[in-house]
Amino acid sequence: MSPPWVIAGWGAFMAIVGLVGVLFFDLKGPETPAFFGGVTGVMVVLGLLLRLLRLGVSAPDGPRPSPDLSPATAWLGVSLVLLATGAELGLWLVYIAGGMTTVGVGGLVRELRAERRAAEEEA
Write down the domain spans for the chain: 3-52, 67-122
Per-residue pLDDT of the chain (123 residues; tens, 9 = 90+): 677 778 888 888 888 888 888 888 877 778 878 888 888 888 888 888 888 887 656 666 666 666 667 889 889 999 999 999 998 888 999 999 999 999 999 999 998 898 889 888 876
Sign of the alpha-carbon dihedral angle for 26, 30, 35, 40: positive
Taking every pair of Cα atoms in the chain, the longest distance, rounded to a whole number of angstroms, is 64
Give the Cα separation of 12 and 83 in Å (integer): 34
pTM metric for this prediction: 0.48
Interacting residues of 32 by C-beta distance below 8 A, sequence separation 6+:
18, 21, 22
